[in-house]
A and B are shown apart, each in its own frame.
Chain A
Amino acid sequence: MHFTRFSIAAAALIALAACAPPGPSTGSEANATGPIKIANVNAQSGQLSSLGQWEHKGVKLAIEEVNKAGGVNGRQIKLDLFDSQGDPTVGTNVARKIAAEGYIAMLGTAESAVTLAMAPILKDAKIPNITSGQSPKLAELKSPFLFLNAPTSVTFDETLAKYLVDDKGHKKIALISNNGAYGSGEHDAFLASLKSRNVTPLADEVVTPDQKDFNANLAKIREQDPEVLFIGAEEVQSGLIAKQARELGIKAVFAGGAPVGTDVYATTAGLENAEGTVVSSPYLSNEASPEIKEFAAKYKAAYNEEARMHVAKAYDGASIMIEALKQTNGEGGQKLADAIRGVKRAGLLGTYNYDANGVGIHETKIGLVKDGKVVPEAAS
């Protein structure tokens, strides 16, 4: 009796093993014909979800285009969206999940902190990742599997400092930034750019990413009467800082990176308060070039909303990924990473030319906020 039960169990086990997922040898064979699995990780909930949704739509647009045109060498791309909630802890869980479920590449996230947390896991799993984060720390990782689809804060802030100090002759500059991954990257990069020009900031206030009341910090800044207030924080917080600064009677020109070029910043601050903000960004307007115009029209047709930098950035990243996949014939790992590094592409944000640290673009332009929209500085 015992024996029969044992043999049934054994037979069941053998049958189960036969149905088990195939090992690596058979797996690659199956992968070479089926759809190519790519993970898109971005915040779909939480304070940073507006970014995450733009990024997702940009990626989706590029992938749908290539799928409609016949896919990558005849194979369709299967894009799956994961919500990182803008939270590094959630991000690491997602990283393990996409490594376990056989995704060969990842697009996103928009947040440096989340990307930083995910990077070691993706590196171990040899999953190339094109991120929209821009903290200099991402480049410092020197992970061969991590690529940025925009410049780092160093480039953003160098351009800004050059414009403010060299071109406009401002010397009375104050800083306010948060100590999150993005904010501290901005803070360090802008401070370094000022130092190289022998400018010492009048005030250097650091806040926390959750802070809502900046009266104390801004009152100190107001005492110094700066000409320029550099804001190193994400969209919503930058908007709150700008609003409270104007309420306190600070007349300084606001300046910052990509976040202050968004409508979330402008509406949070109030359009009047945001007017004249100096933005450093590789993507200033939807009318900048015929290619960008065409892209903006395509995006508007697909989602019935205006395109913006984050959409274009994600679209560029996905396009680079597609180009690399075509070269590797859908294969991932080291080969895909090498292919991405080799892509030279005239994208919407500029010309991509990857360096050893995974940074693709090395310059930004200056724009000014007018009526809640960014216009190129030269045209204003």
Chain B
Amino acid sequence: MQVFLQTLIGGVTFGAVYALVAMGFSIVYRTMGLVNFAHGSVVMIGAYAASTFYMASKLPFAVAIIVAIVVTALIGLVIERFLRPLENKDFTLMLIGTIGFGAVLEAGAVLVWGATGHAVPSPVATGPIDLAGIRIPTYSLLVIAVAAAATGLLALFLQRTKRGAAMQAVAMDHQAATAVGIHVGRSNAMAFAIGAGLAALAGSLVGPMLYVNPTMGGTLGIKGFAAAMLGGFGSMPGAIVGGLVFGLLDSFAAGNFQEYSELVTFLVFAVIVMIRPTGIFGEATVNRA
């Protein structure tokens, strides 16, 4: 039982991070119908930015995260601006463009920070909470709380604000949205900026849990992408559920299947996607390809 609960805690913590990454993928997909393959690299840039401001400039961790979000949101805007001329013209080129941006960001990180990477000390000094033998690292609680708060804010934005509603409208039918006077380009830019900001949040939070280096975006990007698929690409609740399910799947497979854990995780993933190609919460509304 102890092993089960401890596994659960590890799974939920990483699941929360995957959920953030998956939400970034989804928000760009639902507004533009585009998979942003540079997303993993933006996570990495976010991790670097936050950890650098936190460690070198001695900013409080929360402030460093906000700075990192601003930095990556700007990168998101730049990516969108570059892709905008291709919108509705060449979808494949847009996809390749995002892959290219990912490579550029990785190379840029090597130039700025070097190839070796750095370890980030935990911003929370207090030791793990002991609940009848189950140890919950305080930092894990922070990660879960911040991810939940970000999710809540995003939901409020999408459902309660005019801009959020406009983004939803563009997602449903961008031609109709244009007809009623919604600026599709601006809406797309916003989606990219929010997606990149979410990536920075995920990256900043995962920094003290891992080791920040230029290739860390690869694994996180793939896991986040798979989580988004699992939940239903483009669906926000799907991204959250997908992230958590993927984190748990990962964690329990590691405990039970040892060196075959990765294989088992992706086999289960493949089976779920075969049974439900649209994912758990998938709706086939967004298809602009």
Which residues on A are within 8 Å of B, measured CB to CB? 44-47, 49-50, 53, 178-179, 205-208, 210-220, 222-223, 236, 239-240, 244, 247-249, 264, 267-268, 270
Taken together as a complex, chains A and B put the C-alpha atoms of A214 and B13 apart, in Å, by: 12
Taken together as a complex, chains A and B put the C-alpha atoms of A179 and B14 apart, in Å, by: 22
Residue among B13, B213, B216, B259 making CB contact with A208, cutoff 8 Å: B259
Taken together as a complex, chains A and B put the C-alpha atoms of A212 and B246 apart, in Å, by: 13
**A213-B250, A216-B255 known; A47 vs B213 contact (CB < 8 Å):** yes
In the complex, the answer to whether B10 meets A213 with C-beta atoms within 8 Å is yes
In the complex, the answer to whether A210 meets B262 with C-beta atoms within 8 Å is yes
Q: List 26 A-B contacts (CB under 8 A).
A: A45-B110, A46-B214, A47-B213, A50-B115, A50-B117, A207-B259, A208-B254, A208-B259, A212-B14, A213-B10, A214-B10, A215-B6, A215-B7, A215-B251, A216-B6, A216-B10, A216-B252, A217-B254, A217-B258, A222-B2, A223-B3, A236-B211, A236-B213, A239-B119, A244-B10, A249-B130
**A50-B116, A220-B3, A239-B119 known; A212 vs B209 contact (CB < 8 Å):** yes
Taken together as a complex, chains A and B put the C-alpha atoms of A248 and B5 apart, in Å, by: 12
In the complex, the answer to whether B119 meets A264 with C-beta atoms within 8 Å is yes
In the complex, chain A residues whose CB is within 8 Å of the CB of B11? 213, 215
In the complex, the answer to whether B6 meets A212 with C-beta atoms within 8 Å is no
Which residues on B are within 8 Å of A, measured CB to CB? 2-3, 6-7, 9-11, 13-14, 110, 115-119, 121-122, 128, 130, 135, 137, 209-211, 213-216, 219, 247, 250-252, 254-256, 258-259, 261-262
- The chain A residue with its CB closest to the CB of B136 is A247
In this complex, the member of A205, A216, A236 whose beta carbon has the largest number of chain B beta carbons within 10 angstroms is A216
In the complex, the answer to whether A213 meets B6 with C-beta atoms within 8 Å is no
In this complex, the member of A46, A207, A210, A219 whose beta carbon has the largest number of chain B beta carbons within 10 angstroms is A219
The 6 closest A-B pairs by CB, nearest first: A215-B10, A216-B255, A219-B6, A216-B7, A179-B259, A267-B119
In the complex, chain B residues whose CB is within 8 Å of the CB of A214? 10, 254
- The chain B residue with its CB closest to the CB of A180 is B259
In the complex, the answer to whether A53 meets B135 with C-beta atoms within 8 Å is no
Taken together as a complex, chains A and B put the C-alpha atoms of A239 and B216 apart, in Å, by: 16
In the complex, the answer to whether A210 meets B219 with C-beta atoms within 8 Å is yes
Chain A proximity of B245: nearest CB distance (Å):
14
**A206-B259, A212-B209 known; A49 vs B116 contact (CB < 8 Å):** yes
In the complex, chain A residues whose CB is within 8 Å of the CB of B14? 212-213
**A216-B6, A219-B7 known; A207 vs B13 contact (CB < 8 Å):** no
- The chain A residue with its CB closest to the CB of B254 is A216
Taken together as a complex, chains A and B put the C-alpha atoms of A368 and B11 apart, in Å, by: 33
Taken together as a complex, chains A and B put the C-alpha atoms of A64 and B213 apart, in Å, by: 30
Chain A proximity of B226: nearest CB distance (Å):
13
- The chain B residue with its CB closest to the CB of A44 is B115
In the complex, the answer to whether A240 meets B9 with C-beta atoms within 8 Å is no
In the complex, the answer to whether B135 meets A249 with C-beta atoms within 8 Å is yes
In the complex, chain B residues whose CB is within 8 Å of the CB of A210? 219, 262
**A44-B115, A213-B13, A216-B10 known; A248 vs B259 contact (CB < 8 Å):** no
In this complex, the member of A206, A215, A217 whose beta carbon has the largest number of chain B beta carbons within 10 angstroms is A215
Taken together as a complex, chains A and B put the C-alpha atoms of A206 and B257 apart, in Å, by: 9
Taken together as a complex, chains A and B put the C-alpha atoms of A239 and B14 apart, in Å, by: 17
Taken together as a complex, chains A and B put the C-alpha atoms of A249 and B9 apart, in Å, by: 14
In the complex, chain A residues whose CB is within 8 Å of the CB of B252? 216
Chain B proximity of A210: nearest CB distance (Å):
6
Chain B proximity of A58: nearest CB distance (Å):
15
Chain B proximity of A50: nearest CB distance (Å):
4
Residue among A208, A218, A239 making CB contact with B261, cutoff 8 Å: A208
In the complex, chain B residues whose CB is within 8 Å of the CB of A240? 210-211
Chain A proximity of B47: nearest CB distance (Å):
13
In this complex, the member of B247, B255, B259 whose beta carbon has the largest number of chain A beta carbons within 10 angstroms is B259
In the complex, chain B residues whose CB is within 8 Å of the CB of A215? 6-7, 9-11, 251
In the complex, chain B residues whose CB is within 8 Å of the CB of A212? 14, 209-210, 219
In the complex, the answer to whether B128 meets A208 with C-beta atoms within 8 Å is no
Taken together as a complex, chains A and B put the C-alpha atoms of A49 and B113 apart, in Å, by: 13
Chain A proximity of B10: nearest CB distance (Å):
3
In the complex, chain B residues whose CB is within 8 Å of the CB of A178? 259
Chain A proximity of B74: nearest CB distance (Å):
25
In the complex, the answer to whether A217 meets B255 with C-beta atoms within 8 Å is yes
Taken together as a complex, chains A and B put the C-alpha atoms of A218 and B10 apart, in Å, by: 11
Other than the given A47-B117, A49-B213, A214-B254, 19 more pairs (CB < 8 A) read A45-B214, A49-B116, A49-B117, A213-B14, A213-B251, A216-B3, A216-B7, A216-B10, A216-B254, A219-B2, A219-B7, A220-B3, A223-B2, A248-B6, A248-B135, A249-B130, A267-B118, A267-B119, A270-B122
In the complex, the answer to whether A53 meets B219 with C-beta atoms within 8 Å is no
- The chain B residue with its CB closest to the CB of A43 is B115
Chain A proximity of B18: nearest CB distance (Å):
11
Taken together as a complex, chains A and B put the C-alpha atoms of A212 and B115 apart, in Å, by: 20
In the complex, chain A residues whose CB is within 8 Å of the CB of B135? 247-249
Chain B proximity of A200: nearest CB distance (Å):
18
In this complex, the member of B213, B216, B250 whose beta carbon has the largest number of chain A beta carbons within 10 angstroms is B213
In the complex, the answer to whether A205 meets B258 with C-beta atoms within 8 Å is yes
In the complex, chain A residues whose CB is within 8 Å of the CB of B210? 212, 240
